[in-house]
Each structure stands twice: as structure tokens, then as C-alpha cells.
Amino acid sequence: MTHPASQDDSSSQPSQGEPSQAPSGPVRSPTAHGRRRRPGPTRLPALGFGAAQLGNLYRVTTDEEARGAVGAAWDGGVRLFDTAPHYGIGTSERRLGALLASYPREEYLLSTKVGRLLVPGPGDGDDMAHGFAVPDSHRRVWDMSGAGIRRSHVESLERLGLDRVDVLYLHDPEEGPTEQAFAEALPTLAAMREEGLISHVGVGSKDVDVLLRAVRTGLVDVIMLSGRYTLLEQPAAAELLPACLEHGVEVVAVSVFNSGILSRPEVPDDAKYEYGTAPVDLLQRARHLAALAAEHGVQLPDLAVRYPLRHEAVSSVVLGMRTADQVRQNLERFARTIPEELWEQIDA
């Protein structure tokens, strides 16, 4: 069973006793890297809004919270938004589409995902088994056939209330019918790109081997890499990221807090890693990084949101955010200058 969010489930959180506040000065645009982009068909902004929380991830997100989060993201310069049918069994797509309706469509990029169809469910319970506080009026069914991919795309557009998305990701192919994903889904997505139905073909996964296989097909424009190139661990660095550079594939990094262990300035004993209790060696590593950050006047989450973008293959970081305060704090973290000496100590 897939985990609820391929974005990080733990948005950057305020220090204990210290409320989130809006940046006190101008924030550098999250659409700019401060480094040269390589040529290519896509131009993804450096910071994106992950909308899993709009699908009531773990708890109900109120309409006021959702409206405030999207509004704060827009006001802060965020122009990349990501959702999926999986997030709240369509709730995230419906909410995000409605909230973006008041903004000019040509001014932002939107991605969603295919691979799971939503079909009528029992309707007598909830979806907390998948991590979403929504009624189980629908359920997910794997379908990575050509027809299933096209149907999922059309149904997502209906929920979003839009006539197009910019990036369409194949979602978690390692957890569904993997061979069908490569034999049917990816060629179908490539055909849809040629037909002008979508702009960019993507694959989203936490499985480095599956993503590497996808990149090497030559059909993919962008991958969404979940938790495999973070401040804490970098298994994607050996083969996957070099392959992305070789094939001209952009990388969107998600789950950059490794599901919680990097989300606070101080690492608690009960910190989560991969949605479970963090092992002792990773707790020690995270605390060492937190201490280094403090010595240089910054915080552990500041490093976490910036670290992936240090690799030339990584174009964007997408952060899951629920409230306006979370958005503003993440924008502040994203804009904070990290001393080069600190990066050198981390790399040593």
C-alpha cells in the first residue's frame, strides 16, 4: 500500500513556543534558482505547493485553512502546484482546482497523476486506512492500461475544473502493475504529449530503480523523487541523478523532510522517518546536522528545503502545506541564505 503523500507529510513546523511569522523582508522569488538552468523543454519553478493536505491528509483541513494556504502561496510567488487523485480520493484535486480558479491559468503550472482510477466505494466509513480524513465514497483501483491512463486524465480535469494540466505523472508504478506501466502507461503518456493533451510526461516514485528505468526509456521529461535525495540520505546520487542529466530529465524533489525527522530545529526522541520511528543512527545524524545548522545561525529545516537544489539535476522542491502560516514559514526558510562554509562541513 502506498503512503498517503508523495509530497512530505510534515511541512516545516515552527519551533516550540515560536509562532510562524511572515518574512520580515523581501523574499527571493521561488521561481528562481540563483543558478543557471540547463536547456530543456520544461522550466519548472524552484518551489512548488504540494496539495496532499488539501485532501485532508491525517486530519480535516478546513476550507479557511485551504484557502489561506493557496492564497499565501500565490502571494509569495509560488507558481507550481501539485495534486493527485490519490490525495483524499479526489478531494485535493477538487479543492485545488476551485481555489486556483480565480488566478490566471497562464501564470502557473499544475501537475496531477495517473495510475489509479477512482470508482464508487462502500460509502459507510472513511479513508483513514490510506491516511485521509474523507468519506470512503470512492476507492482506488490500479489501472495503468492506455485506456485507464486516458480515463484518469479526463476525470482529473473534471475534478479540477480545468481543460489541461502541464505535467502528468505516472504515480507509484512500483506499487501497481509495474510491467503494464512501462509497456502501456508510459507510451500512452508520450502519445498524449504528442497529441497536445499534456505538456510534460512525468513519473513519481520513491523507488530509485523504477525511476532510473523510466528515465532510460527516453519518454520522460520530469521525475518526482520522493525522499531519495535529501539532506539525510542521497541514494539517488549514484546513478539516477546522473542519468537525468544525461537524458535531459528534470527532477522534482519531494518528502525532503524524510517524513518528519528533518522538519524541526531540534530532533525529538520520537522523530519519524519513513512514517515510522526513526532508527538511532539516523537520529544521531539528524541531530549532528541540527547542531551544525545552529552554529551557523540557521535551522535544520532551512537546510532540508534547500539541500536538493544544490544538485544540478534537481529543478524543484515541492513542499506539502496546509495553512497560510506553514506556507509563509516555508517561503522564509526557502529564501534564507545558507553559509557556504556550512554546506562544506555537511559535504565533508
| Residue 113 cell numbers, joined | 497523476
SS3 (DSSP) at 330: helix
Of 87, 108, 229, 307, which residue is the catalytic one?
87
SS3 (DSSP) at 164: coil
Instruction: Give start and end residues of each alpha helix (H) in 231-323.
Output: 240-247, 280-295, 300-306
CA distance 3 to 129: 10
| Residue 67 cell numbers, joined | 484557502
CA distance 102 to 34: 30
H-helix or E-strand spanning residue 43: none
DSSP assignment of 68-118: HHHHHHHHTT--EEE--TTTTTTHHHHHHHHHHTTS-GGG-EEEEEESEEE
Does the active-site annotation cover 108?
no
Total residue length of the chain: 348
CA distance 142 to 64: 33
Tell me 181's DSSP state.
I
Active site residues: 87
